[in-house]
Amino acid sequence: MLTINELSKTIGTYLQPEQVNKVQLAYQFSAEAHEGQKRVSGEPYIHHPLEVAYILGDMRMDYQTLVAAILHDVIEDTPTVKTEIRKKFGKGIAELVDGVSKLDKVKFESFEEAQANNFQKMLMAMSTDIRVILVKLADRLHNMRTLEALKSGKRLRIAKETLEIYAPIALRLGINSIRLELEELGFATLYPLRYRILDEQINKARGHRKEIISKIRTALKRRMRQEKIPGQIFGREKHLHGIYKKMRDQNLSFSDVYDVYAFRIIVDDVDTCYRTVGTVHNLYKPVPGKFKDYVAIPKTNGYQSLHTALFGPYGVPIEIQIRTKEMNDVAEVGIAAHWLYKTGNTSKNINLVNKDRSGAQQRAREWLRNIVEMNKTAGNPEEFFENVKIDLFPDEVYIFTPKGKIMELPNGSTAVDFAYAIHTDIGNTCVGARVNRKLVPLGTQLTNGQTVEIIAANSGRPNPAWLSFVVTVKARSQIRHFLKNLQQSEAVALGKRLLNRELEPFSLTYQDISEVDMEYLLNKNKNENENELFKDIGLGNKMAPLIARQLVVLKKLASKKNQKNSVNNTTPLSIKGTEGMVVKFPKCCYPIPGDPIHGFVTSGRGIVIHCQTCKNLAEYQKQQEKWINVEWEPYNEGEYEVKIHLNVNNQRGVLATVAAAIADTDANINSVEMKERDGRHTSLRFIIEVKNRVHLAKVIRKIRLIKSVSQIDRN
């Protein structure tokens, strides 16, 4: 079992004696706090935080991180409070410990809600001090190493969470040494049978591979020696989870994946990296399209390396990574490489922060800024949790702006994602895009090397349909944020109109409400301000007639005649079609201007407009208080969906003929369904956009002129 003396010996190789003493002091404090506590496995609890600190010590983390690792469970699992840690160890360490601690004092309705809230708390603490997540990753790694003591259900839940959240976070921060072990342990726990079968297959094939690997390494060394290129060559063993993931994602057999021989070459500098690529390409023929330059264009997590694939001897495929020693350090511990070099330690192992490490740090900070922005725009912790999970799996594509700047985006990104990556205002106002100087739809997926130009207009605004194809979290969260604010402003405007309409019989408007009377209404209806009251009226959460009656009674203007609760006593509300998301037109009857209509106030959705002939109105007969008298605005310029049904004779090109006829009337076709009734007739259902009943009549007259159409009707 690990002891504090062994930890002290390890960290003493790079920390000052007084810093090691502080780590030992933290151990004594934590051991006393956890006195008598045991883990599920039966060992003393203090063994766990000591192991977590040892993992971070192997990564050569600063003493504050090690102290926080030893203390990371004292707030959560002992009576110790944050102020006590702050007093004894300082504010910085107290904040680190608090950031790792769960919200165990708060009661949640479900495990999912608790998980989302704890995850949100951890990432927000991480945005202030990234060492929070380093402690959490080390904590999770030791927990994964000791999972066997837990019950099966809990083991599976923790393993799944590790593969979905913590391993991707380690990858995002470039900490491959932890990420690979988390993936292996998670895979072994979640899919034990698959893990065992793959492990057995690898052990069987390993003997034959050693001979081939030795021959390839010897050939590479000989050629590099001839070219006078100093460097180290290592054979890379593929990890089980990586093999499994590649087999699953690319539908490959085990031999297709495992028969690839992988090597890593470590050289002195960047120039030598590129010289080495030429050398190995002269030794073995390169596979076309497989060279990747992550030195010139680093990955999001700061990873830098040159990758190439070769046709090796005996026809075996070879994968080679070429990088400098500094690049290799960043590839192994990522953002963690920054902390030791930041402390100003004078140990012989310490150098200045180089470009590779500062690049990893900068990219991590950029990601954390995105995390903070996600948190601001997310509606709740659960939405934030899902957004971050999506953001943790980026296979990058590299896109150029018209000025030649390179933008990194997740695979599958569209022109809208690109617009939001440039700036939120560009995304909110984009109306079109040019890819390699050609106009394309905004939903077009982008590929490596394309040059994209966004066309923006002051009148442009996000479309809810964009949410169906954007892939970046920034785009999704900003679109939702804009639409949410838009709906609220539209609800406020509609609420004012509805209240004015109810006050009209009393010769009042909402502007006539004094500050004292408004304060009375706000208190009575439990609203913080008048805009919130109007928003609730517009969304249907509060009824305008009731609010109006409260005010009228307060003003003592009510009479027997005025107190009658009759919707028809008020002027109909004019529907313009420009009210936005607070006035909805359902698909049960597709109302259009010119149709006799009824309005129905629905809580949280605003006003739903139905045709007076709609069959669904019968369901609302018992809720007369929610009916609202509405009429169409005389001059309505919007376009509205309507469904038409046709019976046609089966003839070649009949669908194209009908579609052309609809287009001739300036109506847009949104969708079409075909259903064969018998061998001679087919049923067609179109959803088209028209301006009003007159426009629809024009469409129907045009279609009736087609000989193949035997019947046409609406809905």
The helix (run of H) or strand (run of E) holding residue 64 is helix 63-71
Write the DSSP symbol of residue 685.
E
Q: Directed axis angle between helix 381-391 and helix 111-128, to 10°?
A: 70
The rounded distance, in Å, linking the Cα atoms of 642 and 715 is 8
Residue with tokens 């259903």: 675
Highest mean pLDDT among 133-137, 226-230, 629-633: 226-230
pTM attached to this predicted model: 0.57
**Which residues lie across from 3 on neighbouring strands?**
none
In this structure, the dihedral spanned by the alpha carbons of residues 66, 67, 68 and 74, taken in order and rounded to 10 degrees, is 130
Report the first-to-last Cα separation within the chain, whole angstroms: 76
Note the pLDDT tens digit of each residue in 17-34.
Answer: 999 999 999 999 999 999
pLDDT at 11 over 60: yes
> What residues form DSSP beta bridges with 435?
438, 452
* Domains defined for the chain, CATH in brackets: 4-175 (1.10.3210.10), 205-333 (3.30.460.10), 394-471 (3.10.20.30), 481-632 (no CATH), 640-714 (3.30.70.260)
From the candidates 32, 35, 77, 453, which is the catalytic residue? 77
Q: pLDDT tens digits, residue range 665-705?
A: 989 888 888 888 777 888 999 999 999 999 999 999 999 99
Residue 79 is encoded by which pair of tokens?
A: 């009576």
Decide which of 105 and 252 is more confident. Answer: 252
- Supply the Cα-derived Rg of the chain in whole angstroms: 33
How sure is the predictor about 161, in pLDDT bands with cuts at 50, 70 and 90?
Answer: confident
How confident is the model at residue 626, as a pLDDT? 79
> What single-letter amino acid sits at 16?
Q
Q: What are phi and psi of 138, to 5 degrees?
A: -65, -40
CA distance 7 to 4: 5
Summarize the confidence of residues 413-430 as an average pLDDT: 92
* Residue 77 designated active-site: yes
Distances (CA, A) of 567 to 449, 544, 546, 592, 600: 62, 11, 12, 23, 12
Say whether 517 is catalytic. no
pLDDT band at 370 (very low <50, low <70, confident <90, very high): low
Q: Evaluate if residue 564 carries a pLDDT over 70.
A: no
pLDDT at 341: 43
541 or 338, greater pLDDT: 541
Annotated catalytic residue, options 6, 62, 76, 329: 76
Whole-number pLDDT of residue 685: 92
Q: What is the pLDDT of residue 208?
A: 67
**Residue 363: HSE in the Cβ half-sphere, 13 Å Cα cutoff:** 23
Percent of the chain topping pLDDT 90: 30
Average pLDDT, the chain: 82
pLDDT beyond 60 at 74: yes
